[in-house]
Structure 1
């Protein structure tokens, strides 16, 4: 895709050369604000770091990740999307990987997301054998409320169409992320209330602050 420029912010496909700066951006603008991570008290970015780096770099190599740059501020990163292809065989693999993880926040959230993936069953829902999965979207604090998240999601849909993906899915742990994607025509095909997702003692595993009361699987045919 060609780059998309508006209001001094350019969105383009992410490259592996961007990744060091992307990781630094995520430290302050994703992990500190993502609802499940926000008040966890854990150094989430360091959990499964090697595996996450490998996963992110593999998605970047597919040409399905995006970076937003502020051209009025020396090309500083102000938004990112990490996304990649998913296939039916990934569902079982994700479950095994999640169950083998340490029970830190990343491990617990991976178990929950795997449960959502299985129960939403997007492949069967749409009758497809591949899809584009938006795994992480983050916008700089200074740019929130300016429509950049919507631009990133809409641009990712364009990327998906250009690469022949029949559908796109996003696992939204944030109320605002789900609302933004609904405004772009994505449908909620599965939801899980945090209050209903409990441990063996009957206590909620995650209790993010309102309005983040549930996680949602948002999807759209491309």
Structure 2
């Protein structure tokens, strides 16, 4: 994929050699800001680290993840999106994995995403056999509100089209990420209010601060 630059920020394909720095960036900028991680009060970046690394590295290896670098600041990472192919069998496998995970924040987040994947059923809804799954998008706090997240998502859509993906899907735990993707033409095909998602004892599992009240599955045909 050809990289593109705007106002000194270049977006290019992420490669495996980037992951060490991306992981450090995630610890500082993603796990402290993503609503479900932030509200958990747990050190989510230390939980299921091996599994999390495997998921992220597998996506980078597909050549479908993007990195944003500020060339005006020594090539500092200012954003990224981890994305990869999702197939029907992945959804079923994730449901099985979700049942085996321990009851920590990482496991609870994995379980609610697996539930949303299964119930949204993008493959049957759109009559497709694969989709480009936008897994994690993160922008540095210093760059938020400047359109970089939208630029990353739009670049990912273009990449998806060039790779022959018929659709792109994102599981948005944040109000702002869902709103951003809606502005790019993505449609909410499934939603789950956090107040309705409870454990076996009837207790609400996730209580992020407003306006993050709902998990939304956003999708678009490419």
| TM-score band, normalised by shorter chain | over 0.9
The answer on 1:173 being equivalent to 2:167 is: no
CA distance, structure 1, for counterparts of residue 98 and residue 77 of structure 2: 30
Task: Report if the CA contact (8 A) 2:39-2:206 is conserved.
Answer: no
Correspondence 1:103-182 to 2 at 5 A: 103-182=103-182
Matched residue of 1:39: which SS? helix
CA distance, structure 2, for counterparts of residue 25 and residue 41 of structure 1: 19
State the match for 1:60 in structure 2: 60
TM-score by length of 2: 0.99
CA distance, structure 1, for counterparts of residue 4 and residue 208 of structure 2: 34
State the match for 1:69 in structure 2: 69
* Unaligned 5+ runs, structure 2: none
Question: In angstroms, what is the RMSD of aligned CA positions?
Answer: 0.6
CA distance, structure 2, for counterparts of residue 20 and residue 44 of structure 1: 17
Matched residue of 1:54: which SS? helix
Correspondence 1:195-206 to 2 at 5 A: 195-206=195-206
State the match for 2:95 in structure 1: 95
CA distance, structure 2, for counterparts of residue 139 and residue 86 of structure 1: 23
Runs of 4+ in 1 over 6 A off after TM superposition: none
* Unaligned 5+ runs, structure 1: none
> How far 1:98 moved relative to its partner?
1.2
State the match for 2:194 in structure 1: 194
State the match for 2:42 in structure 1: 42
Matched residue of 1:216: which SS? strand
